Structure 1
Amino acid sequence: MKKLILKYSILMLTLLFLSTSINLAASTAGTTASALANTFRGPQSATEVEKFLDDYFSQDPIKKKINALTVAVVQNSQVLARKGYGVTDRSTNTPVQTDQTVFRVASVSKVFTALAIMQLVDQGKIGLQDNIENYLDGYKVNNPFATPVTVEMLLTHSTGFEVRDPSSNSFMIDASLTPISLKDEVFKQFPPVKRKPGSSYMYDNFAYALLGYIVQQVSGEAFDAYMEKHVFQPLGMTSSSFRLPTDLAKRLATVYDASGKPRPVYRLSPEIIPQGSMVTTSDDIVRFMQAFLNDGKLPNGTSIVSPASIKAMETYQVAIHPQVADVSYGFEAPFMLKDTNGQHVIAKGGDIPGFSSYLWMLPDSQTGVFISYTATGGLRDDFFTAFMDHYYPSQKTQFGKADFMLQSASELHKFAGLYTDLRTDSDIIKVSVVGDGRLDVYTPWVDHEQVTQVDDKLFVDVKGRPLAFQTDSQDNITYMKYNNPLSYSAKVPEALGYPDITNDHPYAAYIQGLQSLSLLSDVASQPFQPLKTVTRGQFIHDIVQQFHFRHSSQKASFTDISASVYQDDILSAANLGLVVGVSTDLFEPNRPILRQEAAVILSRIIHHLSDIKVPTAALQLTSGTDDWALADIQTVLALKLYGPEVTTIDGTIDFGSKRALTKQEESAMLYNMLVPNV
């Protein structure tokens, strides 16, 4: 069963998509530089590259995905292609021009923020191992660990910070609104440290906002002014900015909605966002790529940054496994790591409403590619794969060791269990042992896959995608990473259990699973009371807490909930359309909830707040269910959101619709909403 993915719980704008750092060799897939020299082909001819681009972007399925697109390819400081496809404005049919048409590049901005930091490192004004508190005017980070957060950890997304992402308030259409300042934004949402700094990777927008603030603090210049003076002007990037000035706004590619209507141009708050507000043209990015691939040197021989800093930016600094890289300074491993074809590739993608971008470079062959377009989706991933297969076809990326001896099923038991994504803790991965050297993996991203061991803590699925684990000093599994470029997933500790729930209890897996995920408020040393009934108010509370629904500020529409401890939860659920009262003004929060009532609420979550597809096959139920609940119970049954209390006799299912829901039955429902029921 595909795990439920709630829109409310996974809302994440990619504005902007270990112990100490691990320095990796140039190849992230185990291929030596000397071997690469024998197999390298790469783009060579401008004529051929232009033909490849024209052929690729003229395909009808691709043309339908975009309205305006720009792409550029450089090698050995030479521009092999810079092309525009589509139009910037349908009303005028103005073609995309690589030197004029401006695109929002979202998280590609982070590359330039990292470059600014490395400039200041070159000047001795910042130390990569400096405690960030040195630059915070006396502010003390909420950090319970003895290890401080360093500047390098900000660069490598390894701070251990709690997630802080842009919200809907970051996008402003109303011209009368005033954006918040970068400083105010940073200190308004400064996160606590949740994991030991330097121990894990989690894509961190806040870290790069803070890096921009540190640039301001150290240089004494506003971040956007610093970038203009010390980065854009020296590089000749005359159409680039971290704000959206009027002249560039006029040249911004128009974004259209599904009906073909142009979307209004929005501003950002803060107006200058170091992690994602940059606008630019492909010609400007070409100038950056040329300098970067030339050890930071400009055409006139001066340097924008030192060769040592360029080397640091193109070398992966953090990895969960030597063959599975995470990040360098400003760049990350490609989304499609298996499609690097044995090449050392550094990449940076970016998404912001209406725009997607991707910048990747191959330092060993001095090749750089940039693409940006007015759409969202996987076009850039498909283009990356097509480009790499066309120009570097001789070798596919291979993970692991050919002569690796598979470990026994008993040895693999340490990998089994639940893992929670560090960015979205409701995204849960389930790992179980199949046999010697094989694991079953159930994730929100790829459903069910079987992976085969190819190294000590490294596995590969049938599509060639790696799954890697990390251990602590006692060889306990701490994190895993699989098909998710945004973060590790943390291994969930085993449940403490309850005195009245033995391991052979029919509901032990559900109750202990929720306990291990910290989703039960029951005290471990006290009886769980599995047969106790659940009230309507308690059920709503548990749903709201499990899926992180925001509390509503609206006044009560029910007259009987003001004295309930669950009043805020009931209001939140009502405003989301998940519950209705038993009458116009009554909710009855203290009455035990019937199983059919619980099923209706779960079904509404699935149909209105999730992306899951529900099987349509009708199932035969015993009599006793009210008509208003029949369709919703069908949904719950189809997705197996129940425990052993649901029985089938001669093909007819007894759901027990009119029975009061017990705590053990609620545990089965809620656990199966999060974890694949297989």
Structure 2
Amino acid sequence: MMELKMIRCTAAVLAFTLLGGAALPPERSAAGPAAGPLSAAEAERFADTFFGRPEVKEQLAGAVITVVKDDEVLLKKGYGYADVLQKQPVDPEETVFRVASISKVITATAVMQLAEQGKIDLNGDVSPYLGDLQIPNETGTPLTMRDLLTNSTGFEYGDTPATSTTDLTLEIPLRQYVKDYAPAVTRQPGAFFRYDNLGFTIQGYAVEHVSGRPFGEYVRERIFQPLGMVHSEFRLTPQIRERLAVPYSGLGEAITPYATVPTELPGGGMLSTGADMAHFMMAHLGGGSLGTARILKAETVSEMLKPQLAIHPKLPNMAYGFEFSNQQIYNGQYVVEKSGDEEGYHSALWLLPMQKVGVFVAVNKDMELRKELFESFMDRFYPGGESSPAGGTFQPTQPSLERFAGMYGDLRNRMWTTRIRTEEGRLIVRDPLGEHVLYPVEPLLFRDEQGVRAAFKMNGRGEVTAFYSDAKSDSWAQKLPEPQPYTDVGADHPYAGYIGHLRQLGVFPGEKDGGELFHPDRPITRGEFAAWLMGWSGIASSRKEPVFGDTAGSAYREQIQAAYEFGLIDGTDGAAFHPDRPITRQEAAVMTWRLARRYLHAVPKEARLSGKTDAWALEGVRFVAAKGLYGPEAIPDADGSLDYQSKRPMLRKEAAALLSRFADHLL
């Protein structure tokens, strides 16, 4: 659900927000008509070869893969173990995986069923489908179901702090969850793409409200049962739990079993098997039917699989529920896809509608093999297609390139910063993935040296407003205005770059003194650091009753509560948090490390430390030390060791350096 996955000069060039009437892109492989996998034996040989690679086999806990073509399941096979300790092999028929955000295409299918029946108007205001639950809208433009389906809601946030619980008896209704976390619409709906977990969960509630039945019950009766998806659910029932693959961390440690929050989570709570997902893929590839069962009309499925949101006509972002990602590995074929990430579970589904071929894979360990697997699949069965990293014949002038230069803040993760500059007639992009050269293809479309496409969006005044690269496919990045300087932080201040960077990203909440003073040498409090950290991550604040007894009156109580729910802070009911006390450098390091581990699936780092650090903080301090997340206040010794000065209070300028440097060293 919390993936970090790793845009639109003139009216003629503009890639409109909605491309609903566009035909599927006709790009084809340069090698001519592609046959794809021709037999079950051929598909199995491919999978055996891939999962037999030493670098895959050594890291794997368990995996399942299914391949379908036309109305036939060519492959459904398990590799490795559902339970490593018990040596229980993965069974494609019986072993259940959390498919995480692949749940969204199930939810979108349910929405489209109700749209077919005339009960939901995709282009109308969504409010009537939510009953008495209200979503504040600051834009004057109605929020529609189409906006929800295409991740273009304009919500102030799309991720919430609480998405799972180890209390398997806890029942959290979908309605209550939406009420607790309903966001405000702060950008024009339909205008910008930003991955939105909460938007799909709100869709699920709309299904529940409009149908008059619990979401999980509706999906079970209208999708799972007709398609024979006998081991698929949106809640962790005892029967499902018996079949659930054990989740493992990247280090191979078993993860404590957990349930989702809410209990039935439309945006990411589905549990399923490889065999069941084969049925779902065949239904969509078959025009909405499987055997004698029909879940959607053929024209509805066709609409679901078309590009609906794109930063450029040749670089689509969203269909209805389905996405487009890493398009450089499609080899000229038309592919829609959806991936899912949850702690200990990672999955992906790819459909080639023109070829009537689908692939699904899931693993039960924090590891990444999906892009490599699909790239290998496409190179094996659909070779050829676009491969040259060079641009087209279009050659922009230097002044036209300069309009793209600037800093761009990711609309989903403020921590992800993209800096673009011009250099000798070229566009140079610097982001957490490194530096890339952009080669022009068309006025707003580019391609880097690896063949990854990127594009820009412009408004009606000819101003560049957004940037997107297929290397980070979950959001556009908004071009940011130059930050206003603080009067007490001069341009030559050693921390000026860090402070200006975070101010540009809008990290500092409720600036005092009219926004003119930063007080760089003042210690930052525990409450304020929690607010910076949560705002920097882009995760919603929490309106729940504070778990800490002394935070109710704090200006940062909602961010502190969100940090607690997200696992960045420990505590118990009524415990004290001391929000006004200065935070120590080791405390700040631990909170940052926990965010990296929880949100980015980071693994522990080794670093040579000198000075004193408490045992409970060592992992966090080693992480920030290894990644160099500090300013000039900390200087490594000649032998490479670092005194992080763990126990002294962190100053505001030092906190800015920590987060700013982290934004440039995420990966």
TM-score range, shorter chain: 0.7 to 0.9
Equivalent runs, 1:18-417 vs 2, <5 Å: 20-23=17-20, 32=27, 38-90=32-84, 93-165=87-159, 167-168=161-162, 170-174=164-168, 177-256=169-248, 263-300=255-292, 303-334=294-325, 336-397=326-387, 402-408=392-398, 410-417=399-406
Partner amino acid, structure 2, of 1:238: V
- Whole-Å separation in 1 of the counterparts to 2:193 and 2:338: 16
Q: Deviations over 1:434-462 (max 9, x none)?
A: 2313223233xx03333333322223222
Distance 1:425 1:380 in 2: 25
After superposition, the C-alpha distances for 1:271-329 in whole angstroms (9 at most, x for unaligned) are 211122222222222222222112112323x5321111111111111111222221111
Report the secondary structure of 2:135's partner residue: coil
Greater Rg, structure 1 or structure 2?
1
> What is the distance in 1 between the residues matched to 2:100 and 2:558?
36
Is the CA contact (8 Å cut-off) linking 1:104 and 1:355 kept in structure 2? yes
Q: Residues 172 and 263 of structure 2 are in contact (CA less than 8 Å); yes or no, is this contact kept in structure 1?
A: yes
Equivalences for 1:254-653 in 2 at 5 Å? Answer: 254-256=246-248, 263-300=255-292, 303-334=294-325, 336-397=326-387, 402-408=392-398, 410-443=399-432, 446-482=433-469, 483-497=471-485, 512-519=500-507, 528=517, 534-536=521-523, 538=524, 543-548=529-534, 639=628, 642=631
Q: In the superposition, relative to structure 1, how do residues 252 and 526 fare at CA in structure 2: closer, same or farther (>3 Å)?
A: closer
Match of 1:141, SS state, is coil
Alignment check: 8 A CA contact 2:30 2:384 kept: no
Structure 2 CA distance for aligned equivalents of residues 27 and 423 of structure 1:
28
Partner of residue 8, structure 1: none
TM superposition shift of 1:144: 0.8
Q: Structure 2 counterpart of 1:32, which letter?
A: E
Deviation at residue 165 of structure 1 after TM alignment = 2.9
Deviation at 1:27, TM superposition (A): 5.7
Structure 1 residues 138, 37: CA separation in 2 closer, same or farther (over 3 Å shift)? farther
What displacement does 1:259 show?
Answer: 7.8
Contact 1:161-1:193 at 8 Å conserved across structures:
yes
CA distance in 2, matches of 1:612, 1:290: 37
* Corresponding residue SS for 1:105: strand
One-letter amino acid of the counterpart of residue 416, structure 1: A
Alpha-carbon distance in 2 for matches of 1:169, 1:258:
20
- Judge conservation of contact 1:26–1:344 (CA < 8 Å) in 2: no
Partner secondary structure for residue 396 of structure 2 = coil
- Of 247-256 and 325-334, the range deviating more from structure 2: 247-256
The TM-score normalised by the length of structure 1 is: 0.78
Amino acid paired to 2:431: Y
Mapped partners of 2:92, 2:212: distance in 1: 34
State the shift of 1:201 in Å.
Answer: 1.0
User: 271-280 vs 185-194, which deviates more?
Assistant: 271-280
Q: Supply the distance in 2 between the matched residues of 1:614 and 1:251 (Cα, whole angstroms).
A: 34
Asked if structure 2 preserves the Cα contact closer than 8 Å seen for 1:15 and 1:166, the reply is no
Indicate the residue corresponding to 2:3 in structure 1. 14
How far did residue 389 of structure 1 move?
Answer: 0.9
Amino acid at match of 2:138: P
Percent of paired sites with the same residue: 31
Q: Displacement of 1:231 after TM fit? A: 1.1
In 2, Cα distance between equivalents of 1:642 and 1:260 = 34
Segment drifting more, 606-615 vs 368-377: 606-615
Deviates more, 1:202-211 or 1:235-244: 235-244
Q: Which consecutive residues of structure 2, in runs of 5 or more, have no partner in the other structure?
A: 9-15, 536-540, 571-577, 597-601, 636-642
Query: Which letter does structure 2 place at the counterpart of 1:455?
Result: E
Please give the secondary structure, in 2, of the residue aligned with 1:470: strand
The gaps in structure 1 that reach 5 residues or longer are 1-11, 579-586, 619-625, 648-654
Q: 1:161 to 1:390 in 2, by over 3 A?
A: same
Counterpart in the other structure of 1:3: none
**Separation of aligned partners in 1, 2:81 and 2:657:** 50
CA positional deviation for 1:671: 7.8
Over 3 Å counting, the alpha-carbon distance change for 1:354 and 1:32 in structure 2 is closer
Q: Is the 8 A contact 1:441 1:450 kept in 2?
A: no
CA spacing shift, 1:23–1:169, aligned 2, 3 Å: closer
Cα deviation digits, residues 332-380 of structure 1 (max 9, x gap): 113x221111111001111222222111010111111111121122112
Structure 1 Cα separation of the partners of residues 198 and 360 of structure 2: 25
- Sort the Cα spacing of 1:426 and 1:179 in 2 relative to 1 into closer, same or farther, 3 A: same
Q: CA deviation at 1:101?
A: 2.0
* Contact 2:419–2:430, Cα closer than 8 Å, also in 1: yes
The answer to whether the 8 Å contact 1:496/1:524 transfers is no
Q: Secondary structure at the match of 1:235?
A: coil
Judge conservation of contact 1:534–1:662 (CA < 8 Å) in 2.
no
Counterpart AA for 2:455? A
- Alpha-carbon deviations, 1:534-555, whole Å to 9, x = none? 333x576764443238999668
Q: 1:490 to 1:158 in 2, by over 3 A?
A: same
Structure 1 Cα separation of the partners of residues 491 and 655 of structure 2 = 15
Structure 1 residues 237 and 535 mapped into 2: Cα distance closer, same or farther (>3 Å)?
closer
Partner Cα separation in structure 1 for residue 625 and residue 82 of structure 2: 47
Equivalence for 2:639:
none
Letter in 1 for 2:202: L
| AA aligned opposite 1:299 | G
1:404/1:24 CA distance change after superposition, 3 Å:
farther
The TM-score with structure 2 as length reference comes to 0.79
